[in-house]
């Protein structure tokens, strides 16, 4: 069975959503899972589709970015599909993972995307190093430092780091690091 998955990021993208449905139907998708949600949010229809897909099925999407939020995420989806014996067809790229050529293209695309990500991180590190040398990079301000007095007062009252964090809206590790830094300076 060919199973379609359509997604748009917002409810305002009605035309894009309808276009995906038309393309998936034209490509022979017998069932279409659809949702209008950001790629970084929880995607219950994607999860349901991945649970429902069976051996021999082919997942069909119009574009890669409608399915996966990153190369790593794509890898997870492909591994899941491989484990159950299902395939992936990306219409906009002409890639079908059930063929040797399609599998090769997915691996090449994944490698190129990973290379681009590593190059971007390298440039980012170089930029941060340059900014530090020029005195322009200060880093992120510590979350706990402005709350130091409150943290120490609550600790003196016998509260634990977890409870202090809950009351101040920060995590336990931040409370601990802030306290330890203050003790080191004292």
User: Which tens digits make up the pLDDT trace of 119-140?
Assistant: 988 999 999 899 989 988 877 7
CA distances from 185 to 158, 165, 180, 181 (A): 22, 21, 9, 6
Which of 100, 131, 156 marks a domain boundary? 100
In eight-state DSSP terms, residue 8 is E
In eight-state DSSP terms, residue 147 is G
Same domain membership, residue 37 and residue 95 = yes
Give the integer Cα–Cα distance in Å for 71 and 117: 10
Residue 181 lies in a domain: yes
Three-class secondary structure of residue 82 per DSSP: helix
Q: State the residue range of the domain holding 168.
A: 145-185
Give the integer Cα–Cα distance in Å for 57 and 164: 51
- H/E stretch holding 176 reads helix 172-185
| Verdict on whether the full-model pTM lies above 0.75 | no
Same domain membership, residue 23 and residue 76 = yes
Can you give the CATH number for the domain in which 160 is found?
1.10.10
Which of 74, 100, 126 marks a domain boundary? 100
Residue 159 lies in a domain: yes
Q: Using alpha carbons only, what angle is made at residue 2 by residues 82 and 87, rounded to the nearest 5 degrees?
A: 15
pLDDT tier at 186 (50, 70, 90 boundaries)?
low
Strand 31-36 and strand 58-61: pairing?
A: unpaired
pLDDT digits (tens, 9 = 90+) for 135-174: 888 777 778 888 889 999 999 999 999 999 999 989 899 9
Asked whether the predicted pLDDT for residue 42 surpasses 90, the reply is no
Residue 136 lies in a domain: no
Same domain membership, residue 164 and residue 86 = no
Domain count, the chain: 2
pLDDT value at residue 73: 84
Contact 29, 91 (CB under 8 A): no
Cα end-to-end span (Å), the chain: 68
Same domain membership, residue 8 and residue 71 = yes
Asked whether the predicted pLDDT for residue 46 surpasses 80, the reply is yes
Q: Is 38 a catalytic residue?
A: no
pLDDT value at residue 38: 77
Name the active-site residue from 9, 39, 70, 111: 9
Lowest mean pLDDT among 47-51, 82-86, 92-96, 139-143: 139-143
């Amino acid at each position: 069975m060919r199973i379609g998955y359509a997604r748009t990021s917002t409810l305002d993208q009605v035309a894009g959503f309808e276009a995906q449905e038309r393309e998936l139907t034209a490509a022979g998708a017998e069932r279409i899972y659809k949702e209008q949600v950001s790629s970084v949010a929880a995607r219950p229809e994607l999860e349901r589709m991945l649970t429902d897909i069976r051996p021999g099925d082919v997942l069909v999407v119009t574009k890669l970015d409608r399915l996966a939020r990153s190369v790593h995420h794509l890898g997870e989806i492909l591994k899941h599909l491989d484990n159950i014996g299902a395939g992936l067809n990306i219409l906009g790229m002409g890639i079908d993972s059930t063929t040797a050529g399609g599998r090769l293209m997915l691996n090449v695309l994944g490698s190129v995307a990973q290379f681009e990500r590593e190059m971007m991180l390298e440039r980012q590190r170089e930029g941060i190093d340059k900014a530090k040398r020029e005195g322009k990079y200060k880093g992120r301000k510590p979350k706990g430092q402005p709350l130091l007095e409150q943290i120490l007062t609550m600790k003196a009252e016998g509260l634990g780091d977890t409870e202090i964090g809950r009351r101040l809206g920060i995590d336990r590790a931040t409370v601990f690091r802030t306290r330890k830094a203050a003790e080191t300076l004292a």
